[in-house]
Each structure stands twice: as structure tokens, then as C-alpha cells.
Amino acid sequence: MCGIVGYIGESKPISFLVETLERLEYRGYDSCGVAYRPKNSLRIILKKRRGKIEGLKKELLSHQFDIGIAHTRWATHGIPNRINAHPHFDCQRHIFVVHNGIVENYKELKKFLLKRGHKFRSQTDTEIIPHLWEEYIKRRKNPLEALFEVVNLLEGSFAIVALVSSLDKIFVVRKDSPLSLGVLKEGFLVASDIPAISFSTKRVVNLADRQVGVISKSSWEVYDFHRRRRYPKVGKVEISSQEVEKGKFAHFMLKEIFEQPQILKSLYSLYTNREEVKFKELNLSKKYLRTLQRIFIFACGTAFHAGFVGKYLLEKYARVSVEIDVSSEARYRSLPIRKEDLVIAISQSGETADTLASVREAKSRGAKLLGICNVLGSTLTREVDTFIPTFAGPEIGVASTKAYTAQVFVLFLFTIYLAKAKGFLTSLQEREILKELRDVSRYQEKILKELDSLRRIAKKFSKFGCFLFLGRGINYPSALEGALKLKEISYIPAEGYPAGEMKHGPIALIDEYRAVVCIAPQDSLYEKMVSNICEIKARKGKILAILTRGDKEIVSLVEEKVFVPKLNNQDLSPLLVAIPLQSFAYFVAKNLGCEIDQPRNLAKSVTVE
């Protein structure tokens, strides 16, 4: 979602502010803006525009500035245009604010402010913040005192960075939306995510929820919403600049697809000793795991699909009953969660609003909470009882790829751990599974070496206006994920379905103008897939099949095929088929000239409901 940046320090060229903002581009946005004070001036300059930062850059003079804020907006209230773009300001143009999140009670606050004579220019919820602040400053409060009044009146989620034209300070606020402070040699840089800061400094303070910071050129102070002083520690960022650069790849998405084997190798070494799974930091006792009967999994989008694979694994190996739902539904369902249940929340960012809300709901019912998360220090990792990091490194492409396979891998390891604790898996069986899990990264490498054929196939299939993705069993979630990847970045309508459900509706779609991607590795449901493929072929549907190398039957029935290596344990196949599915979506989107890393309307981290 929106990205925010703030800087205060010794004077820097305005390009510094804009370049830091550019590092947040991947989050998705439709308009952008900056407010800054040129060196030796008291006047704040405001520049906003619809569209890309590139355009904003061209508008800016080569000013030096010493204090500034910047924003990329992803529209929620009001269409994407220059007026609705941030920063927003008060009636006197003294207070300038950029904001991530949603002020839920903005309508009633706006009514109150209109009665008090405030004039609004935009349709945004954000604009009430500078006006409300102005209102409290008018009531003879100093700006910080007034800000406390404001934040305690706002409902919803908000990360705010603001400047007041007469002061050498920036103000920051965090509630349910991430915000970090980078300590520079001279001055401070604030941003809504750490990779954007990591180019400039490795020394970072993660503001906690419900905190307010006042930052001057040489010092910073942090308070909670009750005005009590807090002393957060300065930590070290472990992200290297290489991790947040594309390097030799045309897109972050492609780079991240190629990173997957290495990530799985590292996870394997970290969480196993080849003989058994080791979760040293996991705070769930063996006694608790032994008696665990029910698991609820909550996640959104791709993380939900990873969780869905996890459901198949956990039910099969650990014999627990697993209920899974997308967080936006789970949070409002009357789920019978009890205190003896385990809730697993899966999230790349750890900041997804719906997932956090579903976790809070489960917490209120007393359930144990396990997070599977890629961002250490994120809200999710702070709110759960215990978590397993997926260590996939920063994921910049909006379409999730490496985070997905890392989540599935970790879920597989957790399944083995639980099944063993419950006595459903012997040490010998555990070793067998681990042996093949170790080889998965090598198999993925093999698939990546053969991507050229997929590039050609994608070209041919780019002409189809509608796709069906079919899978069975543990690859039904793979079908959902394959369809999601394609529609996200190529905008081609694509549906994922369990193949056995085809006759109950989707078969009506099939003719020679529709494409069907069939995930058909040689597993126990292979023969069923053969029948489905014959049915599609009989209706002239154009089939791309993902097959096990050496396949003899389906190979002759389909238009195009890609192969994945043969596995002994087919439950590992989602980790292999993910690579051709992601790459296929990538090549189709590339062929169609789509903006792969920043697809329209999408945000990397969905911090609002």
C-alpha cells in the first residue's frame, strides 16, 4: 500500500527524498507527492501529481533541502488525482501530513471540523489530520500536545509523518501500520519499510504500535499515546543492498523466482539436522503438540494458498483437523475457536490488516497463536505467541513467489515436527521425508535451467483471453496459486479449480479459444487427471500440462507440456510445480508488455481492511 518517507538533517539534494520514495514504488501506488523546505528558506514547497514518481522528479528543481516528507498513494478514499495525493495540509498551510492506513471515523471528525470553519480540498480521510491538529494548536496547545489529542481521537490504522512549517522537527506516529526510523550520520530518515531505509543506514529503530516520535536534526524522542516517554532500542538491519536490487534480472519477480532454491537450501540447514526437524525457538511444548486436535489457518492471497497446502499436509501426516479461511472472512465468522486450538497465521509482510485482525480475534478466544512470517519485527511477529521466520529475504515484486515456496517448505517442516510429536511418524519415516525435502532445491534448479521452453509456450498462450487452472489433491492449491499469479500480473481472467469439480460448471467455458493449465504430476490422482484432460481435449480446449518427467500418457494428449523431476513423495510437488506456474505468468505478462513488478491496482502489503 502507500509508502511514506520523512527526512530531517543536514541539507541534501531533493533527489535524496525522491529516490528513497522510489524504493517504496514496489508497494503499488497511483499518485505521489512531496513537501519540503529548501535550505535557508521558511517556505514549504509542495509538489504532487497523479502517476509515477518519474514525473514528479522532472518537476522538482535541484533544490537542497533539510526537512521533507514524501508519499506514494494507493487510493482508498477519493479517486487517484493530484488533489487527493498526499501531503495534505491545514487551512493555514503550516502543517503537512503524509499518511498510510485509514482513518475510520473521518466522516464524523470532518463534520466537526467543517462546523469549526475548516476548508477541505480533497476527498481523502487523511486531510482531517492536519485540520484536527490545527484545531488543537489553536486551542493554545503546543504542537506535540496537540498531536497527542489528535492521535487519541483517530480510529483505524495510521502511520503518519508530518512537518510543521515553523519547526525544525518532523513528527511521526504509528498505529497498526508499520513505520521505522533510520539513524543517519547526520539526521534521520523515516519510512514505511526498512528496505527503503537500508540503502542509507543499517541503524534502525522500529517504532512500536501506538507510539509518537518527535525528531530533530540531532535527536529523537518517542512517547506512547498516553504521553509517557519510551526508549526504543536502535537495532541493526540485516538487509544488504544486493537483496533490494534487481541485479542482472529484468524484474524483481524473475530474480525472486530464481532465488527459491537457495532459500529452501538455507531453510533446510536452519531447521533440520538432516535427521530431524529442529525448531529451536518455537515456543510450543511437546506436551501441547501431543494433545493438539485442531488447527485454524488464517492468511490472504498467496499466503492463503500456502496455508491450503499446509492443510493437506497437516491432516495427512499429523492427523489433526484443520480449518482454513481467508483472513477477511475468518475475522467475521463465528468460528468455534477454543483455547486448546492452535491458530496459524501466515503472512509474508506480517502487516496484512485482515490477518492481524483474525489473529486478534483468535487471541481474544484464548487460542495459541503461531505466526509464519517473512519480516522479523513485523506486527504479526510481535502479536503471536511464537513464530517461524521464513527467511526468504525482502520480496519486492508485488506478486509473491519466493515467500510462497518458503511458507510451504516451513509448513512441511512444521507438519513433520507435529506428526513426530504426536507419534504418527517414526524417526525412519522422518529421515526419508527429509532426504527428499533436501533434494527439492536441486530439482527446482533443474526446472529453472529449462525455462526457455516455457518462454516459447507463454508466447503462444498469451493470445488466450481466459484461463482455467486445474489440479487435484495437494495441487488444488497450486492451481489456485497459478491462476492468481497469472491474473495479477497479466490481467487475463484466470480461475483455479479442483479438477474433479470441472464437470460441475467450469467445463461450460471450454472451447478452442480457452486455455487450460493442468497440474498433473504422477501421484495417486494421476488417472483421474487423465480423464479430465480427455474431457477437455474432446471439447477442443488448449492444454498446457505440468507433468512428471518421463510421463507417457498425458504427454500425447496435450498441446504443450513442461516437466518437473520425478519425486518419491508427491506431497512435495507443490514446491516444484510452483516454479513453472510462476514463470508462466511472468512470461505471459512480459509478452503482453505488462508492468510486472507493480501490477495495476495492487499493493505489496495490504495494511487496510
Binding residues vs ligand F6R (CB under 6 A): 300-303, 347-349, 352, 355, 399-400, 484, 488, 605-606
Of 402, 542, 561, 604, the catalytic one is 604
206: three-class secondary structure by DSSP: strand
CB of 302 to ligand F6R, least distance (A): 3
Give 469's contacts (C-beta < 8 A, 6+ positions apart): 479, 480, 482, 483, 486, 494, 495, 496, 497, 516, 517, 519, 581
Give CA–CA dist 51/58, Å, rounded.
13
Inter-axis angle of helices 143-153 and 128-138, nearest 10: 130
**Annotated catalytic residue 278:** no
- Closest CB to ligand F6R among 532 and 598? 598
Nearest to 260 by CA among 112, 391, 92, 354: 391
467: three-class secondary structure by DSSP: strand
CB of 407 to ligand F6R, least distance (A): 8
Laid out side by side, the sheet with 203-206 consists of: 45-50, 31-38, 64-73, 3-13, 187-191, 180-183, 203-206, 235-236
Of 2, 32, 91, 373, the catalytic one is 2
318: three-class secondary structure by DSSP: helix
- Closest CB to ligand F6R among 369 and 554? 369
Give CA–CA dist 445/438, Å, rounded.
12
Give CA–CA dist 295/488, Å, rounded.
30
Q: Which residue is nearest to ligand F6R (CB)?
A: 301
Asked if the bond preceding 232 is cis, omega within 30° of 0, the reply is: no
Give CA–CA dist 429/417, Å, rounded.
12
Q: Are 407 and 401 in contact (CB under 8 A)?
A: no
364: three-class secondary structure by DSSP: helix
In angstroms, the Cα distances linking 495 to 16, 443, 486, 577 are 43, 27, 9, 17
Give CA–CA dist 482/335, Å, rounded.
29
* Dihedrals phi, psi of 582, to nearest 5 degrees: -65, -45
Q: Return the ∠ at Cα 129 (arms to 125 and 130), rounded to 5°.
A: 125
**Annotated catalytic residue 604:** yes
Q: Which residues pair with 547 in a beta bridge?
A: 520, 563
CB of 291 to ligand F6R, least distance (A): 29
Neighbours of 281 (CB within 10 A): 9
- Look up residue 313 and give its amino acid: L
4: three-class secondary structure by DSSP: strand
Give CA–CA dist 366/248, Å, rounded.
48
The radius of gyration of the chain's CA atoms, rounded to the nearest angstrom, is: 26
What is the sign of the dihedral through the CA atoms of 451, 455, 457 and 462? Answer: positive
CB of 308 to ligand F6R, least distance (A): 12
Q: Which helix (H) or strand (E) holds 373?
A: strand 368-373
DSSP class of residue 76 equals S
In angstroms, the Cα distances linking 261 to 284, 397, 419, 482, 553 are 29, 17, 25, 19, 29
- Closest CB to ligand F6R among 301 and 541? 301
Active site residues: 2, 604
